[in-house]
Structure 1
Amino acid sequence: MGTLATLFAPQRVAVVGATDREGSVGNAVFQNLVDDFEGEVVPVNPSKSSVLGRECYDSVAEVPPVDVAVIVVPPDIAVEAVREAGEHGIENVVVITAGFSESGSEGAARERELVDIAEEYDMNLVGPNCVGVMSTSVGLNATFAPLNANPGNISFMSQSGAFITAVLDWASDRDIGFKDVVSLGNKAVLDEGDFIEEWGADPDTDVVLGYLEDIDNGRAFMETAREVTQDTPVVVVKSGRTDAGASAAASHTGAIAGSDRAYEAGLEQAGVIRTETVQELFDTASVLAGQPLPDNENVAIVTNAGGPGVMATDAVGDSSLSLAEFRDETLSELEEFLPDGANIYNPVDIIGDAPAERFERTIDAVLDDPNVGMAIVLACPTATLSFERLAEQTARLQEAHDTPVAGVLMGGTSAQDAREVLSDAGIPSYFDPARAVDSLDRLQEYATLQDREYTEPESFEVDEEKRDEVLARAAERDSTRLGVEAMELLDAYGIPTPAGRVVDDPEEARELAESIGGDVVMKIVSPDILHKSDIGGVEVGVSPDEVWDTYEDLVARARQYQPDASILGVQVQEMIDLEEATETIVGVTRDPQFGPLVMFGLGGIFVEVLEDTSFRVAPVPEPEAREMTEEIDAAPLLQGARGREPVDTDELVEVIQRISQLVTDVPAITELDINPVVATADGVTAVDLRLTLDQEEL
């Protein structure tokens, strides 16, 4: 695959299937190009001698050298047209034609042909089944959308073609401009990662936006986005948040993960900002494209209306931002020139009779305060205030102080000209104070992501022989689900476990209990019985002289519950004192796009009820493993709440990292739960294990 530079800045474009028949896609694409494109447009159609007054060619092979071929012919012919383009040395093709993988097995076979052709000729292929591409830098509108994009510094991609046409119409009314626009379609060759990489290197793209329904290669996407987001913000709406399929999961982790957790974790780890709605997407884009990054998360609010000021304050309280505390010099300055009745503390209420000049002095004073990282200028219409004058002053002061500002002009027609002044200065403006706060919150989020340094995951020493023995036994038995009989896997990866092992004889069980000393825990070991406690398959606090009888009781209960169950024996395990301990869980489920997804949370029997969990895509480096332990709601329990002694968090973090390495090393593990992982001030112990294997990967 070559560079995408000529895709977005071609000199000559051929339209295969161009026609002058109104209402057709071939006509719409050709007309859009003729109307705006700065280069040459060449029609290709064996049934026409000319299209819209331009000489028409019978095939791609006959056209003069072109940079881009746009294909709008039926699918079978489209495949041959792409092949001809490759043979003719055309570097970029945009296949608008539908009828490929989205239409069944025959279409999927045709799409595989497209991929093979693109690989053979090293071609950039957009689509198929897409609306096309735009680039306002050269007036390129190789789409059948009814509107062209306004010029701007946002590049936008979407898996939904209809979404593109709707956004272009919506953005036109709001003076939102774009550099490039791409309809991804089926993503047969070029996908979201390719365009993020291209736009990250484009000096004319300040923000990358995307509407995504899926990401085919999550790990490659993360690697690309992690590099790009260091300099260029990437903001996406990702649809599809349902938990379909979770009910089929065999582990706690699988049941909790759902279909969206991997995307949430992967996007966050890659530095990508995710929004919930289209409105949030473009609010975030506007502030990122137009404003500098804040020095801190503290917000100053300047307003002429008390009620809206309180609304803005509440919104700050609901966000990750904080109200700025002004230094004494700022308070003295405000007190000096603001009238009686004004509030000099944040939010600064300069009262309803304030003219633009009072706003100007106040904004200047708060932006000069080093405690202020960003500001909201909030105004309601009054007879004494010129919105346009206020906008001009706000724009000047924002540039002078180089501090991010969001405007809230709570008016309609009277505020329109002022909004245009702010927009021209790159300052976003809103009617709703909450939207202004949210946009600044996103700006701070990107500043935090940009400051974050990526750390390579640590590689721990592993007993590979012991690991391979456990997996070989599972392969020999054709086992897909393992329990405590696989505890040696944890030992192989240096994860602390209680003393004990699986035995298949009551006398051996008694001898093992005596060697451990004190009371023990005994568990039936069967790959066919997942929830052992539900059938009485676990006994706690068994003294050595009770071990023989308990062994036989456990086996009898298992046989009664499931006569055909495979009984591998009974695990005899050292008792762990839970009185001063905190039970946690470390789990993994394997996502088809992102690979192993590691979960950490509060463990025990209530894990699926509480769902107090945190997720990361493996491999997990130390800083992110530590974040996992800090961001759950129960983090205070780990840190020593209510007089409890803090647990050994360092060792807990290391266990997360070691499990992350285990599931990265062993792709056959599709699900895994260690529950509980008992954490105390003295260390961490993995007490129980459940995992699912894909035998084909062993």
Structure 2
Amino acid sequence: MSSPATGGGPVRALLADGRIVEVRPLSAGDLDRLRRLHSGLTERDRYFRFFTSRPANLDALLRRLVSSTGAEHEHAALGAFLGDDLVGMAHYEPVAGSDEAEVAFVVDHRQQAHGVGTLLLEHLASLARRRGVRRFVAEVLAENTAMLRVFRDIGMPLTANPAGDSYHVVLDLHDGYPAPWEERERTADVASLRPLLRPGSVAVVGAGRRRGSLGNAVLHNILASGFTGACYPVNPRASTIEGLPALPSAADLPSDVDLAVLCVPAEAVPGAAEDCGRRGVKALLVLTSGITQRAELAEALLSAVRGHGMRLVGPNCLGVANTEAAVRCNATFTATEPPKGRIGVVTQSGGMGIAVQEQLAAVGLGVSTMVSTGDKYDVSGNDLLLWWQRDPATDLAVLYLESFGNPRKFAVLARSLAMIKPVLTVRTGTSDTARRAAASHSAAAATPAVVRDALFEQGGVMAVDTLTELVAVASVLSWQPLPHGDRVGVVTNVGGGGVVAADAFARRGLRLPELSRSTTETLSALLPPFAGLANPVDTTAGVDAETFQRCLAAVLADPGIGAVLAITVPTALGDPAEGLADAVAETSNAKPLLAVRLGQLSMVTPLRPTRGGRPVPVFGDPADAAGALATISRYARWRSRPKGDVPDLPGIDPTAARAVVATRLADDPRGGWLPPAAVHALLDAFGLPVVRGVEVGGTDGADGAVAADATVAAADSLGYPVVVKAVAEGLVHKSRGGGVLLGLGDRAQVRAAVATLRDRFGPALGGVFVQPMAQRGRELLVGVSHDPTFGPLVTVGLGGVDTDLIADRAFRLLPLTDRDAMDALAELRSAPAIFGEDAEHPLPTGAIVDVLLRVGRLAELLPEVAELDLNPVIVHADGCDVVDARVRVRSRNSGDPFLRRLRA
């Protein structure tokens, strides 16, 4: 759906109390509504708005507000509608000769304090930014505290200077998703989802009498789960169903039912949804399939949802369940009751939802809430991320997502949740064929899987490949504390198990450090002389269970150990695993303990202490335990690291950069590769350390060949040695295509270089670009590619002509923080040899981090940049030099991914 941010149509958004309003540009057809809004203002509100209780020429002003043409230089006016009623409006008037606009608001006094003004300000700011406005200004009376609070709470840089009995307010319109926006969205979203996830009443429209029918299965499950609220079956051909009186249609429902579950045939869904809306139903759960494939049914369903301000899950979904004691609502058609627990689950696939629940139940875990989003018209994974952050019944989130409607917001919301509660997901496969065909190194590397993994990495989401891995990690997270780093201690009564574990940990990037002297002395006193006291600790098979457990306690207490793995087999002297949980429960251990019982057929089972306490997860294979522990260790490290900031970088001139792009698109609206001079101007505008150069065009002779004399003159002006690069049609990769000649030390060599390039490229050679030779150093690649779903992706890796062969790269999505940039460098396989303490000549990271942040800012502010390659970026002891760069632009009318709006 388009939005006011792109000058498009209406969007639905949530107020603080969970009600849904429509936000859209005002048009001539809204004039009467605008008049009614202003005529209904109290005298005090009229005075606040116009500085007088009797404004002159009010009707002329209102007519102007609804006459905006949508051009960038024109004013703009947005309205907020509850049903057909205009409850608020916001507009701006551009200040001539500046990038400022004067802004003003009107909100119906009956709707004030519900967030109407704040929501309008967010949407108007997004629209204004898109049109080139950089600041809002306003004169606000000092006693108008409500309006001043709206400006202060918006979360953007603000100055409010007193001027007599008013304040002169200046609001800088920064891009992004300020923390107050996220908190407002969370408050509103949670309020809107309560009727869905904690309903006090449920109607089942299409409730069947026949066992085995969809409608009967859902109704039966709701009642069997012990639902604590009122339940209303709807069936025109039955008087009672499952012992409850049946209503003939949704139009006969009592008013203000929280949730209606639609199980009727696809053709009947829109009508049932409309009836529900008229009766004040707050949320719909549409289980019916076959709607998305028929555009007329899909649009009619959405029309009912939009017209009556309802939230919607589905269609084509498994349902929704909440196991909380105060709710107990299983509005699904699963064959078994969802296991009660503290794991929130959201899944696009109903079958995967069933499988996740069954596998969790098999190990003694359960769900707090389960939402199957199906075709995902409205409620999505992002909504659940907001819900679970405030849900005291949920300790862990599990996601199965096959698509991302708003991935940039997902990254922000997942990061907020993952900072306080673990978030787990199963990776889903995607094709990368189209990405390989892209025209630059960065785009070719940006496969969908790479983008998805970058999204999870930045959001702190633990990604696994299988359901069994998911259950293994969920078990450890549910039963044990987070590890203290990646240093693991292993205690085993079977030496071979320690060897297998050591290999598994090494493959997963976990370390087995030496134990402290104190720990070694304790073990020496407990074990026979031929025992292995190093890490892994081999107690030998001859020790009894009590001795084994005392050894385990000693390793757990070692300050250099962050997690412990116990590997056991039963012997004639006993089974060390049997009392393991009790032994650990008696200690003050705050480190995770995992166990492996060699020969166990199940991947993981709980070993519960007899007197209460945390279960110990017991695996059948050391590799599975190592995999789970490695995943959780990475998460613990992510959670404990500094959050990172998107710094305010000096030396950035967005206006100059936009002018470069606008000039290219004015020449050809389809876009294309920028010429070298334009590339340099663009990079200069973002303060990137470009090696200066001179472009020489075809001016030598009647045939337009490149001028050797002009090229020599350019080289003379720059100083020798120089580099001469071809500017030729179709030449994207200059070095690979033979278009770069290095180390030219005098005029003769420059002339020879021009002749060589003429021979190689013939008429395609449109010019040459001359640069001084850069300082020697390590060649890196920094790039940007634009994914149609995920947005810009920043790439960093080894550069030069062999970049594709080596393929050592890391990827990050926007917004890019300084922490993200540092982590991306550390992720490179070559990082220890380039930046590490053990490198022969370690290079400083500060300069390349600055380049990454500036490139990220460029990608944020210029969505028209489709591809950007800085290759190579030469990193040396004194900083960085961007030696070669390519930029492709294309027309783009991008929306604001952080704007508050609903999908439907």
State the match for 2:194 in structure 1: 5
Q: Distance in 1 between matches of 2:738 and 2:555?
A: 67
Compared with structure 1, are the counterparts of its residues 521 and 473 closer, same or farther at alpha carbon in structure 2 (3 Å cutoff)?
farther
* 1:642-668 deviations in Å (ceiling 9; x for gaps): 986443432121111111111111100
Counterpart secondary structure, 2:334: coil
Q: Distance in 1 between matches of 2:600 and 2:655?
A: 73
**Which of 328, 347, 350 is 1:158 aligned to?**
347
Q: Distance in 2 between matches of 1:29 and 1:492?
A: 60
Q: How far 1:546 sits from its partner (Å)? A: 5.5
Compared with structure 1, are the counterparts of its residues 644 and 297 closer, same or farther at alpha carbon in structure 2 (3 Å cutoff)?
closer
Q: Distance in 2 between matches of 1:435 and 1:224?
A: 30
State the match for 1:316 in structure 2: 505
* 1:320-359 deviations in Å (ceiling 9; x for gaps): 3222433222222222232343333322222223332222
Q: How far 1:287 sits from its partner (Å)? A: 1.0
Counterpart secondary structure, 1:15: strand
Compared with structure 1, are the counterparts of its residues 508 and 140 closer, same or farther at alpha carbon in structure 2 (3 Å cutoff)?
same
State the match for 2:718 in structure 1: 516
Amino acid at match of 2:273: V
Amino acid at match of 1:669: V
Counterpart secondary structure, 1:428: strand
Q: How far 1:610 sits from its partner (Å)? A: 1.0
Q: How far 1:679 sits from its partner (Å)? A: 1.8
Q: How far 1:284 sits from its partner (Å)? A: 1.0
**Which of 121, 124, 128 is 2:315 aligned to?**
128
Counterpart secondary structure, 2:414: helix
State the match for 2:102 in structure 1: none
Q: Which runs of 5+ in 1 are unaligned?
A: none
Alignment partner of 1:678 is 2:865: no
Superposed, which structure 2 residues align to 1:447-596 within 5 Å?
447-460=636-649, 461-478=651-668, 479-485=671-677, 486-504=679-697, 505=699, 506=707, 507-526=709-728, 528-533=730-735, 536-542=738-744, 543-545=746-748, 547=750, 550-551=753-754, 554=757, 557-560=760-763, 569-577=767-775, 580-596=776-792
Q: How far 1:88 sits from its partner (Å)? A: 2.0
* 1:518-570 deviations in Å (ceiling 9; x for gaps): 2432223245332344554433344335656754664564345x5xxxx6532
- Percent identity of paired positions between Structure 1 and Structure 2: 34
Alignment partner of 1:655 is 2:858: no
Q: Distance in 1 between matches of 2:440 and 2:601?
A: 57
Q: Which runs of 5+ in 2 are unaligned?
A: 1-13, 19-190, 700-706, 895-904
- TM-score normalised to structure 2 length: 0.71
Amino acid at match of 1:627: D
Q: Distance in 1 between matches of 2:642 and 2:551?
A: 37
Counterpart secondary structure, 2:433: coil
State the match for 2:797 in structure 1: 601
- CA contact 1:159–1:212 (8 Å) conserved in 2: yes
* 1:414-449 deviations in Å (ceiling 9; x for gaps): 999983559973321111122222222233222212
**Which of 261, 269, 293 is 1:78 aligned to?**
269
Compared with structure 1, are the counterparts of its residues 120 and 224 closer, same or farther at alpha carbon in structure 2 (3 Å cutoff)?
farther
State the match for 1:440 in structure 2: 629
Amino acid at match of 1:401: N
Q: Distance in 1 between matches of 2:735 and 2:633?
A: 47
Q: Distance in 1 between matches of 2:341 and 2:469?
A: 18
Q: Distance in 1 between matches of 2:539 and 2:623?
A: 20
* 1:383-426 deviations in Å (ceiling 9; x for gaps): 3214674244245246x323211122235599999835599733
Q: Distance in 2 between matches of 1:76 and 1:432?
A: 52
Number of aligned residue pairs: 686
How well do the aligned residues superpose, as a CA RMSD in angstroms? Answer: 2.8
Alignment partner of 1:371 is 2:538: no
- CA contact 2:780–2:798 (8 Å) conserved in 1: yes
Q: Distance in 1 between matches of 2:602 and 2:733?
A: 67
Amino acid at match of 1:503: V
Q: Distance in 1 between matches of 2:826 and 2:348?
A: 35
Counterpart secondary structure, 2:573: coil
Q: How far 1:627 sits from its partner (Å)? A: 2.5
**Which of 268, 281, 291 is 1:90 aligned to?**
281
Q: Distance in 1 between matches of 2:761 and 2:438?
A: 23
Superposed, which structure 2 residues align to 1:602-641 within 5 Å?
602-639=798-835
Q: Distance in 1 between matches of 2:434 and 2:602?
A: 52
Amino acid at match of 1:85: C
Q: How far 1:14 sits from its partner (Å)? A: 0.9
Compared with structure 1, are the counterparts of its residues 22 and 9 closer, same or farther at alpha carbon in structure 2 (3 Å cutoff)?
same
- CA contact 2:556–2:591 (8 Å) conserved in 1: yes
Judging by fraction of residues, say which structure has more helix. 1
Compared with structure 1, are the counterparts of its residues 171 and 345 closer, same or farther at alpha carbon in structure 2 (3 Å cutoff)?
same
- CA contact 2:585–2:609 (8 Å) conserved in 1: no
Q: Distance in 2 between matches of 1:377 and 1:369?
A: 15
Compared with structure 1, are the counterparts of its residues 553 and 252 closer, same or farther at alpha carbon in structure 2 (3 Å cutoff)?
same
Q: Distance in 2 between matches of 1:212 and 1:70?
A: 23
- CA contact 1:586–1:656 (8 Å) conserved in 2: yes
Counterpart secondary structure, 1:401: coil
Superposed, which structure 2 residues align to 1:246-265 within 5 Å?
246-265=435-454
Q: How far 1:200 sits from its partner (Å)? A: 2.0
Q: Distance in 2 between matches of 1:387 and 1:640?
A: 42
Q: Distance in 1 between matches of 2:885 and 2:513?
A: 48
Superposed, which structure 2 residues align to 1:286-435 within 5 Å?
286-386=475-575, 389-397=578-586, 400-412=588-600, 419=607, 421=609, 425-435=614-624
- CA contact 2:581–2:607 (8 Å) conserved in 1: no
Compared with structure 1, are the counterparts of its residues 661 and 195 closer, same or farther at alpha carbon in structure 2 (3 Å cutoff)?
same
* 1:77-99 deviations in Å (ceiling 9; x for gaps): 21222232233222221111112
Amino acid at match of 1:76: E
Q: Distance in 2 between matches of 1:414 and 1:338?
A: 31
Q: Distance in 2 between matches of 1:140 and 1:451?
A: 37
* 1:288-331 deviations in Å (ceiling 9; x for gaps): 11211233332222222111122222222222322243322222
**Which of 231, 234, 244 is 1:54 aligned to?**
244
- CA contact 2:285–2:314 (8 Å) conserved in 1: yes
State the match for 1:668 in structure 2: 864
Alignment partner of 1:118 is 2:308: no
Amino acid at match of 2:790: F
Compared with structure 1, are the counterparts of its residues 100 and 426 closer, same or farther at alpha carbon in structure 2 (3 Å cutoff)?
farther
State the match for 2:459 in structure 1: 270
Compared with structure 1, are the counterparts of its residues 168 and 294 closer, same or farther at alpha carbon in structure 2 (3 Å cutoff)?
closer
Counterpart secondary structure, 2:376: coil
Compared with structure 1, are the counterparts of its residues 493 and 214 closer, same or farther at alpha carbon in structure 2 (3 Å cutoff)?
same
- CA contact 1:518–1:544 (8 Å) conserved in 2: no
Compared with structure 1, are the counterparts of its residues 186 and 535 closer, same or farther at alpha carbon in structure 2 (3 Å cutoff)?
same
Q: Distance in 2 between matches of 1:90 and 1:429?
A: 47
Counterpart secondary structure, 2:489: strand
**Which of 234, 241, 266 is 2:423 aligned to?**
234
Q: In terms of mean alpha carbon deviation, does 119-128 or 544-553 score higher?
A: 544-553
Q: How far 1:51 sits from its partner (Å)? A: 2.0
- CA contact 1:521–1:539 (8 Å) conserved in 2: yes
Q: Distance in 2 between matches of 1:325 and 1:278?
A: 34
Amino acid at match of 2:263: V
Amino acid at match of 1:472: A
Q: How far 1:616 sits from its partner (Å)? A: 0.9
Compared with structure 1, are the counterparts of its residues 329 and 637 closer, same or farther at alpha carbon in structure 2 (3 Å cutoff)?
closer
Amino acid at match of 1:491: D
Amino acid at match of 1:68: L
- TM-score normalised to structure 1 length: 0.91
Compared with structure 1, are the counterparts of its residues 113 and 664 closer, same or farther at alpha carbon in structure 2 (3 Å cutoff)?
farther
Counterpart secondary structure, 1:260: helix
* 1:9-53 deviations in Å (ceiling 9; x for gaps): 323211111102233211221221122232332211223332233
- CA contact 1:43–1:54 (8 Å) conserved in 2: yes
